[in-house]
Structure 1
């Protein structure tokens, strides 16, 4: 378990010397299982969770083991943010694969906000990178003293190699080295409205369909607005199943009243929890914690994709609801499951990052996360995931 860049250097050199398979665990949130090396060395960065905010420069220096919640808490103190993912327990390594949450359609993906990094390469060389192309002093290298952009194997004259490395980290950086620090450019959220709504699911899923329709027909075109809609299969004795929508408006403080009024159609659906308020962006970012705390440790399989809004016709929405919700295995078979729809589009699709390019012109993203605890239930989870892919794929293409 590393405590700083020096420990990381020693671990990388040891693994290289002994020919060990090598993996890096940051937050431990990796559907591709990149954070474990069976029979090899797993480098755990979870002790490295410092976040230093410079409110004047509007930057944050984030240690490699930091969680998204760590970043949100520290930046929100200054009415600033990095657009991050939905779950505060996800690691900052999310940025290396893109990074999409409710603010992405207004601000772009997380990776577009990387302006510096400290990276330990496979040969143990430390690279301190800066978007300015200088020595990287603005990256707050800390315990990588003496490392300069342009030094080390593969670095070209004038730091060209390190500039290419920094470019690569913005969305495709999981295999480019061990990132011990990232420097993020921050965004002003002083005029935000945010929070979340919770509704009980009903047998006909009328509320789920109404919120989904509102997202597509109204929410998509609201200026500065981002939201999602999730369904979780909590058992009845735990108050489930439930629906939740994380929402955020970003913009001028002068527009707060009109933005609160724009959400009245969601309030008309009689949520059992409504904590959406001026300045509630942090509440929106932490909304999933109750679900995450309730879910037991489990295995997971994911199905995910995207679609244009026009494809979500009433008939398609009925078919998707049947596949995603009615077709889901019961809670005693697959606890800890969720279905999430996200609004995309806008600035997210204007990004040149891999996550945006892969989305094409999609305006909606969907995710079906299926969890199970008993290995005997793995076939049911896998069958559901395949059925969802088939159903959503057909709807997405009309």
Structure 2
């Protein structure tokens, strides 16, 4: 296991972190998985009040195990309440659940919209309660997780209130690269959220992608793509049991630059996308936005790129079904809401037939209603 400095916190964190979202409903399951993670060198554990009984179970683990509290790093997340009083209650609840005197890293769970950012700036913002808790030593470091757009994330970082950021960034979603660079400049710790699942359901890739990545696996290649970037501190690993730790951690000591063979494989993937999609490939420039019908056009077309171009249909269907069902966590209407207004067409540098592609994506991936994993 490799370890990296978590930005200005100066914490030395394992390059893989155990997220407890998928083992938060069984205490024995969590105990077994955490014990295995510790034996494999993981020292950072992430949970949230929204993730079942993850805090309570982990607190019981701390109480019953022989581990030194100072040898592990705990991150938990709180969804912002409407009042400062509510925030005080939440912090104390987390401390009580975890049976600890301090939380190493507390993240605001979801600064996703312009309103969320504006809330930080109000004179009675909950942020002052968190900063006071930080002064008191109840919280060591403060960060935020985000599903927001580049502008919202950038403005949140530029408040200079935070020590780290939990971010979506993967080989198949590189839109947030400017945020990686900004966070590096600001010396923020960078925690990548769900690279296996949100990164493309790479634990069960389609045959086409497996063949294209050989002799690597798509999952290992995505991990290597991320670990190759020294600005990134740690990757979330959402194991549900001890066995699910083994395959990802095979690359836990491979944080060196990408090899020529790995680079050639990534080029092969891009070439295949271009050849398969031809004139229908969306380059993700985002110039088509805003859409009058609130369709998240770039994300819809990204999913079409992956589904049509690389046979990643299960992933495209899984994510597409989140539209209209996950609020600000995954914003936007589905492609069938397009009214052919044509506003996006002159803004598209590739001259894509966007309304047709939106409807085609909907026909391919509409399926049934989706939910966020922790719901």
Shorter-chain TM-score bucket reads under 0.3
The answer to which structure has the higher helix fraction is 2
TM-score (norm 2): 0.28
The answer to which structure has the higher strand fraction is 1
